[in-house]
Amino acid sequence: MRFFGTHIQGNALYRGAHDLPLRALPPILRWHGLCVYHPDSSSVSCCNPEVAMSIRLPPLESLRYFEAAARHLSFTLAAGELCVSQSAVSQKMIQLEARLGYKLFERRTRRLILTENGAALYPVVHAALSDIRDTLSEIASNSTMRKLTVYCLPSFASRWLMPRLEDFHNKHPDIDLHLVTELTEPNFHNEIVDIGICHGTGNQPAMEQRLLFRDYIYPVASPALLRAHPLHRPRDLSDTVLIHDSLPHAKLSTSWQRWLAARGVRDVDYSNGYSFNQVDLIVQAAIDGRGVALGRHVLVADEVQSGRLAPLFDDYEADDGVYLVCLKKLAERPQIAAFSAWVQAQADEFTAAMGVEQMLPAARPDRENDTAVAAPIPMPVPTSSAG
């Protein structure tokens, strides 16, 4: 028999789960009111409410999954909110029902219905989780030093965000900002990330997603290389060296193979040249005249504006936008609201002074007869002291 709870043996107090035959069950358990033996069913039940609660309370994660599935009456919608797969939610509910010993959902064709037990449990779990979230939010908001964890990709952090963070610290010295940089975007529901700057969006109803600016991809090279090897059209790339991103399938990466194929260029050997796994190295190699690189505007705008790099071919390919992302329920938290307002102001300033349509007229939607450019157009230096 499997006995869960508390029992006393000799002078020792044991807590946990123990395998005991019925004949070995200490009689003192009945005296202390902890457990009752039912001869008709050969079972033991706990009478102590505290012990009973410790036995029956499922893991918090299971209750979170149940609350989302019951609120949406859909495993698919719950999975979207929790940023997991539909099968993960389904499996979690099967495990929870097995642990509780009764069904929570009736699974019918194309719909989900709460059972009587599920309907009774849902409002209690919903209220409890709401209370936990509200209390944690209040504690975080009242902290003297308010911690804020921000996510973005490593290349975006080094080339765009980091040069501006001093301005944020000067304006918000009471916020303790922690920057997390990973190639994989976090699960905002399960990880300790308050807000992120992400490329592209997904269908996540629980997320606030605000566009900061659009991004573009275009070839760049040093003016010195262009003077030595004039490049007038994409097929001219066969006469120069290409600089590659060695992680072509990662976020913010670029691929010469895809870029050339999209333009029908087949006589350029895209396998030649240098390969680097960091944007800083790719940009520096291009500045040094080692070859031609595919640049993202948000990552090479400073170099294009300063004249260290020049865009080629009047060819500016629109790519995913850059978005500010956080959970809707956290958007009004003071430190998140402060960072959101600050980064939006920085993005607006960047777009006004260094946006691709301002710096590179060939990218303007209304452009009709502008002549091709092989060097950057001088622009005024941004007024931001943070950049």
Specify the residue for token string 């039912």: 38
Question: What was the pLDDT predicted at 162?
Answer: 93
Per-residue pLDDT of 105-160, as tens digits, reads 999 888 899 999 999 999 999 999 988 888 887 776 665 457 899 999 998 999 99
Task: Tell me the CB-side half-sphere exposure of residue 36, using CA atoms within 13 A.
Answer: 10
Does residue 5 have a pLDDT over 50? Answer: no
- Residue 22: CB atoms within 10 A of its CB come to 12
Q: Of 125-134, 242-251, 267-276, which has the strongest mean pLDDT?
A: 125-134
What pLDDT digit, counting tens, does each position of 82-114 carry? 889 999 999 999 999 999 999 999 998 888 999
Q: pLDDT-derived band of residue 362, with 50, 70 and 90 as boundaries? A: low
CA atoms within 13 A on the CB side of 8: 11
What per-residue confidence (pLDDT) applies to 142?
A: 63
Report the distance separating Cα 370 and Cα 307, nearest Å.
20
From first CA to last CA, the distance across the chain in angstroms is: 69
Structure confidence at residue 327 (pLDDT): 87
Q: Is the confidence at residue 59, as pLDDT, over 60?
A: yes
Q: What is the Cα–Cα distance from 351 to 322, expressed in whole angstroms? A: 12
Q: Which residues pair with 150 in a beta bridge?
A: 179, 195
Cα dihedral across residues 67, 68, 74, 79: positive or negative: negative
pLDDT reading at 35 higher than 80? no
Q: Are 236 and 268 in contact (CB under 8 A)?
A: no
DSSP line for 83-147: TS-HHHHHHHHHHHHHHHTS-SEEEETTEEEE-HHHHHHHHHHHHHHHHHHHHHHHHHHT-SSEE
pLDDT score recorded for residue 321: 87
Q: In order of start, what are the domains of the chain with their CATH numbers?
A: 2-56 (no CATH), 60-141 (1.10.10.10), 145-387 (3.40.190.290)
pLDDT level of residue 169 (50, 70, 90 thresholds): very high
> How far does Cα 384 stand from its chain's mean position?
28
What's the Cα-to-Cα distance from 245 to each of 154, 196, 291, rounded to whole Å? Answer: 14, 24, 13
Q: Is 377 in contact with 360 (CB distance < 8 Å)?
A: yes
Q: Provide the pLDDT for residue 361.
A: 56
Q: Is the pLDDT of residue 11 over 80?
A: no
CB-CB neighbours of 147 under 10 Å: 13
Share of the chain above pLDDT 90, in %: 37
Backbone CA torsion sign across 80, 85, 88, 94: positive
pLDDT above 70 covers what percent of the chain?
A: 75
Buried/exposed 170-192: b ≥16 CB within 10 Å, e otherwise: eebeebebeeeeeeebbebbeee
Instruction: Kindly tell me if the per-residue pLDDT of 19 is higher than 70.
Output: no
Encode pLDDT of 188-213 as tens digits: 776 688 899 988 776 677 788 899 98
381: CB partners within 8 A, 6+ apart: 353
